[in-house]
A and B are shown apart, each in its own frame.
Chain A
């Protein structure tokens, strides 16, 4: 399936993967993550910090609800970094890059 992680990467399965009520929803969410990761990477390249911040905010609020607490946590840390004042954001460029990469990496491991 297209949303399966690459070989050799340990997948993260949704905490709710056994929940029939959630099956379809989680599948949809996981499928969407591929696209979202791509956009996050693009945003990092073009320096669209606002986009990264709002996407991190959305993932922070929703990921755990779909059974991906680790993604939510990573998104939360990234959002907090970006929330800091502008000067701090400048000096945190490295951390932000790492944060986005980590988030994208986690998204890539998610399976329903």
Chain B
């Protein structure tokens, strides 16, 4: 699988979906190439089952058209392989087959195929079935993306954070690389909502999200953690370096002009916990330490950063004048 996009979720995929054809017949390759030319998709071909599995892994196609009856590794075996591998199990597979027994169809569906086209295939039928599979794929893709994205701010959501944070720790530990996490909590957010109304509160959340995005680097993962709480996972970043980034965020927010309430500035308290060599506690405990830092920042006056290493806490210099 390709590495996940980080700072912000991808909006849409512009490129045309890739359709992988696994079929031993070059005649069928040529035929599909010509017959699907007008469709908004890109085709690639494999002539054997094992080459097909390699292509499926390397190129992450949107759908696979799979011939069942191939010499060597047959389509059933390929299907089993694809569905057993985490990388390829979610790719929809349409089976193409000259075999027409109900038993073969049942076996293919049982193995995870989403559709079955008998050869010789009718061109129109093939086109609409491919279109339909692509439509379902795109919807599932969008749902999967949306399930990871916060609707209001467009940042990754808590579910995504929960998935990425332990992964980030595992990677940092494996390679003995620095890693930091910063937690952000908007100061007196409730009173902004209460005083200026929820649309004003939403505007603050949205603006803060764009500040986080603009401050984040491509390797950072910025998330909306909860109501007015945000988090950035910063791989390859020590607590000291994380402070620099967070100070930029703190200043940008403090200097933001608010059309709905020009008289009222908005500030944020920030807790950081970082490690310079990937060493640290497990994911929940590491997070708890950052939360403790955040609590300290709130307790000591807000609009400030408290940073700790996985070794122990220290007060960062950054603080509003």
A57–B97 Cα gap in the complex (Å)? Answer: 10
A111 in contact (CB, < 8 A): no
One digit per residue, 1 when the CB lies within 8 angstroms of any chain A CB and 0 when it does not, for chain B 64-98 equals 00010101000000000000000000000000101
Q: Pick the contact of B28 from A22, A28, A62, A76 — CB < 8 Å?
A: A62
* 8 A Cβ contacts from A46-104 to B: 54, 57-58, 60-66, 69, 72, 76, 79
Chain A residues near B (Cβ < 8 Å) = 21-22, 25, 28-29, 54, 57-58, 60-66, 69, 72, 76, 79
Query: Which residues of the partner chain A approach B37 to less than 8 Å between Cβ atoms?
Result: 21
Query: Which residues of the partner chain B approach A60 to less than 8 Å between Cβ atoms?
Result: 98, 119-120
A64–B122 Cα gap in the complex (Å)? Answer: 9
- Is B34 a contact of A61 with CB atoms below 8 Å? no
A61–B23 Cα gap in the complex (Å)? Answer: 10
B196 in contact (CB, < 8 A): no
Across the interface, name the chain A residue whose C-beta is closest to B121: A65
- Is B24 a contact of A62 with CB atoms below 8 Å? no
Query: Which residues of the partner chain B approach A25 to less than 8 Å between Cβ atoms?
Result: 30-31, 34
Query: Which residues of the partner chain A approach B218 to less than 8 Å between Cβ atoms?
Result: none
Query: Which residues of the partner chain A approach B71 to less than 8 Å between Cβ atoms?
Result: 54
Q: Pick the contact of A66 from B24, B27, B96, B98 — CB < 8 Å?
A: B27
Across the interface, name the chain A residue whose C-beta is closest to B29: A62
* 8 A Cβ contacts from B21-41 to A: 23-25, 27-28, 30-31, 34-35, 37
Chain B residues near A (Cβ < 8 Å) = 23-25, 27-28, 30-31, 34-35, 37, 67, 69, 71, 96, 98, 119-121, 123
What's the minimum C-beta distance from A108 to chain B, rounded to whole angstroms? 18
- Is B120 a contact of A63 with CB atoms below 8 Å? yes
Q: Pick the contact of A62 from B31, B34, B69, B123 — CB < 8 Å?
A: B31
A22–B123 Cα gap in the complex (Å)? Answer: 12
A60–B98 Cα gap in the complex (Å)? Answer: 7
Query: Which residues of the partner chain B approach A62 to less than 8 Å between Cβ atoms?
Result: 25, 27-28, 31, 119-120
Q: Pick the contact of A21 from B34, B98, B120 — CB < 8 Å?
A: B34
Across the interface, name the chain B residue whose C-beta is closest to A75: B98
A27–B30 Cα gap in the complex (Å)? Answer: 12
- Is A61 a contact of B25 with CB atoms below 8 Å? yes
**Interface contact tally, CB-CB below 8 A:** 50
16 of the cross-chain contacts (CB-CB < 8 Å) are: A21-B37, A22-B34, A58-B24, A58-B25, A58-B27, A60-B119, A60-B120, A61-B25, A61-B67, A61-B119, A62-B25, A62-B27, A62-B28, A66-B31, A72-B120, A79-B98
Query: Which residues of the partner chain B approach A28 to less than 8 Å between Cβ atoms?
Result: 30
A79–B28 Cα gap in the complex (Å)? Answer: 17
A110–B31 Cα gap in the complex (Å)? Answer: 17
- Is B69 a contact of A65 with CB atoms below 8 Å? no
- Is A61 a contact of B98 with CB atoms below 8 Å? yes
- Is A65 a contact of B31 with CB atoms below 8 Å? yes
- Is B30 a contact of A61 with CB atoms below 8 Å? no
A66–B28 Cα gap in the complex (Å)? Answer: 9
A21–B37 Cα gap in the complex (Å)? Answer: 9
What's the minimum C-beta distance from A67 to chain B, rounded to whole angstroms? 10
Q: Pick the contact of A64 from B23, B30, B120 — CB < 8 Å?
A: B120
A54–B121 Cα gap in the complex (Å)? Answer: 19
Leading 4 A-B pairs by shortest Cβ distance: A64-B120, A62-B27, A61-B119, A65-B31
Across the interface, name the chain B residue whose C-beta is closest to A79: B98
A69–B121 Cα gap in the complex (Å)? Answer: 11
A54-B71, A58-B25 are known contacts. Are A76 and B121 too (CB-CB below 8 A)? no
Query: Which residues of the partner chain A approach B30 to less than 8 Å between Cβ atoms?
Result: 25, 28
What's the minimum C-beta distance from B31 to chain A, rounded to whole angstroms? 4
- Is A57 a contact of B120 with CB atoms below 8 Å? no
What's the minimum C-beta distance from B214 to chain A, rounded to whole angstroms? 49
What's the minimum C-beta distance from A55 to chain B, rounded to whole angstroms? 10
- Is B98 a contact of A65 with CB atoms below 8 Å? no
A62-B28, A65-B27, A72-B120 are known contacts. Are A57 and B34 too (CB-CB below 8 A)? no
